[in-house]
Structure 1
């Protein structure tokens, strides 16, 4: 039996309507890509009719999603990887290996408490939900679930990401905190722009004399490295240790585990 979704005003009305895939994504049911797959499989009906790709819908149109879509979603996995240096987050580039190549039975962490078994089908559609530079290490999320991807990297995402960042200031590599001006630290927290667009406020503080702790709610390309450059710092090491409520914990470098059913970002 199909799941009938209530007519709702949660999605703002538009004069010409809205594409169905965007409407489903805005309702938090899936990603746009996943919605397109559901539509292509005939799993979505609008006002009782099987939807077609590219369909425009009005705010009061009745949308139904079949159980097959929910069943498929329930089998999707989200994986937490401790990415090493030298791997790119997304597609292979310039001869570098993508992080997804590390996802196999051999690198599955023995300490994974989920008791879930790896299957090659879990690699299908598995994509990074956020980036981590080739020179950076730490927590990288890869998921088949469009809802997770939207939560972490959607335009309106405010999920915190926490990093430990080792820095140097000019030729100073030890006790950097003692020579780095406090007003420049304040600028890291608020007041910087990248590519002509102001950055959201961040929490930045000294973890130890050579290492800063960054907490961000956005993820521009090479954001922390570029922020540091703007205030005269050079990043010599960067590690992501938390995304939302999920931490890297004791996960070894180059190994991965499943996101447990009880865990939430």
Structure 2
């Protein structure tokens, strides 16, 4: 019976690489133990079959950004805790391979309006985090808001251009009807509670709010509770 050793050490024996190379292969999801991918270099193996997958790439893991569709009625922080490979959106076109390390050290960015669901951004990339923080006042956020009530043409104009919230004159925004019960709001850096206040000010009752876009990045068709990667060509 062979004494258990670290997977990284066994891989070095199998393919003749350096310790750092072994760790990169393993952390990159390119190594299997009895046919199952194992991403922890310290994983102990004994008699198991250790193999390097075809097409293995020797490269450090790049930080990723995840776009989560927070389901209706769920707190974004709690919804983020459920992120795992099983909730990955099947139609994700980013071509990024799902790794366990992608779910570590995720920082939430650009809070949702209280009570809203929809697009929630979590990132490992300090560059994305900094951009979203520094460009917050410039980035347009789009919400679809389900309401009860009717609007005159003047009230619609008032929503877009003429309101003061907590003593602050609100920035002009775009407001239009998506259908008979839903309004689209496109606005920059909304204050906490701003959208509900805006609707209430023209006698509309808000039933639900969903964020569907931040800057140039849409939620796409990601289903509630699922997530996708921010693709390399996408820009907030």
Normalising by structure 1, what TM-score?
A: 0.61
| Aligned residue runs from structure 1 range 32-71, under 5 A | none
SS of 2:211's equivalent?
Answer: strand
Between the aligned partners of 2:143 and 2:123, the Cα distance in structure 1 is 21
Structure with greater Cα Rg: 2
Show the counterpart of 2:62.
75
**Superposed displacement of residue 143, structure 1:** 1.1
Between the aligned partners of 1:156 and 1:258, the Cα distance in structure 2 is 21
Moved beyond 6 Å, runs of 4+? none
SS of 1:239's equivalent?
Answer: strand
Change (3 A) 1:155 1:193: farther
Show the counterpart of 2:95.
115
Alignment partner of 1:252 is 2:194: no
Q: Matched residue pairs, number? A: 178
Alignment partner of 1:229 is 2:200: yes
Alignment partner of 1:242 is 2:213: yes
Normalising by structure 2, what TM-score?
A: 0.68
Stretches of structure 1 that go unaligned for 5 or more consecutive residues are 1-70, 91-97, 170-175
Alignment partner of 1:201 is 2:172: yes
Contact 1:82 1:256 in 2 (8 A): yes
Contact 2:79 2:225 in 1 (8 A): no
Show the counterpart of 1:173.
none
Change (3 A) 1:244 1:156: closer
**Superposed displacement of residue 204, structure 1:** 0.5
Between the aligned partners of 2:184 and 2:136, the Cα distance in structure 1 is 24
Higher deviation after alignment, 98-107 or 148-157: 148-157
Alignment partner of 1:186 is 2:168: no
**Superposed displacement of residue 105, structure 1:** 0.9
SS of 1:75's equivalent?
Answer: coil
Show the counterpart of 1:147.
127
Show the counterpart of 2:141.
161
Change (3 A) 1:134 1:197: closer
**Superposed displacement of residue 264, structure 1:** 0.9
Between the aligned partners of 1:105 and 1:123, the Cα distance in structure 2 is 9
Between the aligned partners of 1:161 and 1:150, the Cα distance in structure 2 is 17
**Superposed displacement of residue 220, structure 1:** 1.5
Between the aligned partners of 2:164 and 2:114, the Cα distance in structure 1 is 23
Between the aligned partners of 1:141 and 1:156, the Cα distance in structure 2 is 13
**Superposed displacement of residue 164, structure 1:** 1.3
Contact 1:137 1:238 in 2 (8 A): yes
